[in-house]
Structure 1
Amino acid sequence: MLTLKNNLLEISIKTIGAELCQIKSTKNNTNFMWNANQEIWANFAPNLFPIVGALKDGSYIFNNKKYSIPKHGFIRYNKDIKCIKETENSLTFLLQNNKNTEVNYPFKFNYYVIYTIENNELTITYKVENTDTKTIYFSVGGHPAFKCPVFKNEKYSDYNLIFEQDEISETYLLDQESGLLSSKTKPIFTTKNSINLTPDLFNNDALIFKDLKSKQITLNSNKNGPVLTIKYKDYNYFGIWAKPKANFICLEPWLGVTDYKNTNQELKNKDGIIKLSANKSFSASYKIEIHQAHLV
């Protein structure tokens, strides 16, 4: 495990999967991340690449050949990703294509995860370099899970999510049999710019948004005020999820989304897929701001 620390935040990252596992106040030791309870959901904040979500039948087609990739890609639990650079306020991890990736992802690439802390904010940057001679296709995303409730004498329903702007977006519904996206949507906002958290909110799985106007969302306690804000200007999809009745909330900026039920499985046509030409690079960042009132 590797650590970044300043006078406000202490950040810990697992070397396996380059997975963020702790955001803690340096001064009062409050930890804002979920504890990855193995009996409920045994992850902290997986990094998603080269797909986001699930593939129909667990597979996709590229150049008339079928390949398989697990849900959310192959970074989670990956032992080949290595820390290649450490500075006082940043850590850079790299995964390069290898014999393990090439079995089911026939592209050459460099995939970076970069963590940077500044004051009360953590920035997570994903960078992809195409080292192939052909166009590569991929998605990236984050899956950070935060404690909810964070403080003593609170319950889950004391929390809500406050969006930067008034929204008319509806959540896209997952087909309960296949777990894939349907074309159906459902209103989910409690007010024009907020969603109340309730134990049954995720009974039908994740909330999936494709057209939010907001580019930041705040996890707010009705008893203790704003706790943290996630800022995702580079992302055009967003997922919100938790296990039903579990004490965490995942706030997930995505560039990509799970397959539709009626997909033809062609990777080139996958909703949200990024197309990167040979010798080009791509990057996208999101930020987690911990509100200073909870750091003293």
Structure 2
Amino acid sequence: MIYSLENEKIKIAAGTHGGELHSITGKKEGTEYLWSGDPEYWRYHSPHLFPIVGNLKDSKYRIDGKEYELQSHGFARISEFTLLSQSKDSITFELRYSDKTLEIYPYKFSLQVTYTLDESCVVVSYKVINLDNKVIYFSLGAHPAFMCPIEKDEVLEDYYLKFNQIENSSIMCFDENVRFTHDKKAYLINSNIIELNKEVFKNDALVFNDLKSDKITIKSRNHNKSISVEFKGFPYMGIWAPSKGAPFVCIEPWFGHADYGDFTGEFKEKEGVLPLEIGKEFNCSYKIFIEQ
């Protein structure tokens, strides 16, 4: 089921399948800022990554000595959420544990996603509630894909990413199986600009864990339309587009990341995994700003 929200400046659509945002439209000119989900390139729009971010080694992980299996980015993005509440300027979807989820993720939880409109901004808020009688462990991330180019007569090379701080930052390195090693590679050197082209993503995503910036903007040299993601408090940032080329770029704030290639420990020992005590909740949010 798809639901809509709008104010004087923007209109959004979001659905119960995956609790996913489907559209962000600027009402000034009817410009679409979110990726359409065309399966020729990538069938998602803005999936939620839970209870893992990225890939597990051999798609397996261990909890209390028992082995479980999860596909890349977990099950939230392919699950059916329910509508929890809706008001004039916000809407909340919920995914609760079930017998089916307990078979692959042995924790009782509620994952709530809220979209709130504020002028030309969409605030995406997450709440994870521990409904179990024990500590639960999880990772959580966002994977929004934004139109790039925004206008049909442009190309990717017309665009660049601008960080809101000058960076001296490294990216996390992959091995030949696209598993993280423990190595880093210098990437942004006294700079806050990444020029966009197909070569940027030839080795998969750019993943940072040492940024000073908490805002990244997709900008064109041809006009003032832009998309910004503000991600205060998120320790990891992934930036990705398909290596074969596609008319979108993903800016992905994460709590957690894919497995290191040599990781063999318990899930709770994995870098970036969050613990949540009995009866407690975890909250975080990021913001999407559009310039029309």
Give the TM-score, by structure 1 length.
Answer: 0.95
The answer to whether the Cα contact below 8 Å between 2:138 and 2:274 also exists between their aligned partners in 1 is yes
Aligned position for 2:231:
232
Higher relative strand content: 2
The answer to whether the Cα contact below 8 Å between 1:56 and 1:265 also exists between their aligned partners in 2 is no
User: Percent same amino acid at aligned positions?
Assistant: 39
* Displacement of 1:226: 5.5
Aligned position for 2:7:
6
The answer to whether the Cα contact below 8 Å between 1:95 and 1:111 also exists between their aligned partners in 2 is yes
- Worse-superposed segment, 13-22 or 221-230: 221-230
RMSD: 1.2
Q: 1:166 aligned to 2:170?
A: no
Pairing 1:37-52 to 2, within 5 Å after superposition? 37-52=38-53
* Displacement of 1:189: 2.9
The answer to whether the Cα contact below 8 Å between 2:135 and 2:277 also exists between their aligned partners in 1 is yes
Q: Which runs of 5+ in 2 are unaligned?
A: none
**SS of match in other structure, 2:166:** coil
Aligned position for 2:107:
107
Aligned position for 1:76:
77
**SS of match in other structure, 1:116:** strand
Aligned position for 1:67:
68
**SS of match in other structure, 1:166:** strand
* Displacement of 1:194: 1.0
Query: Separation in 2 of the partners of 1:211 and 1:141?
Result: 17
* Displacement of 1:234: 2.3
Aligned position for 1:157:
157
Aligned position for 1:215:
214
Query: Separation in 1 of the partners of 2:44 and 2:129?
Result: 27
Query: Separation in 2 of the partners of 1:226 and 1:258?
Result: 33
Instruction: Count how many residue pairs are aligned between Structure 1 and Structure 2.
Output: 290
- Worse-superposed segment, 166-175 or 141-150: 166-175
Give the TM-score, by structure 2 length.
Answer: 0.96
The answer to whether the Cα contact below 8 Å between 2:84 and 2:93 also exists between their aligned partners in 1 is yes
Runs of 4+ aligned residues of structure 1 deviating over 4 Å after TM superposition are none
**SS of match in other structure, 1:263:** coil
For residues 193-228 of structure 1, what are the alpha-carbon distances to aligned partners after superposition, in whole Å with 9 as ceiling and x for unaligned?
A: 111111121111000011111011111111113601
Pairing 1:1-296 to 2, within 5 Å after superposition? 1-79=2-80, 81-177=81-177, 179-189=178-188, 192-225=191-224, 227-244=226-243, 245-291=245-291, 294=292
The answer to whether the Cα contact below 8 Å between 1:139 and 1:256 also exists between their aligned partners in 2 is yes
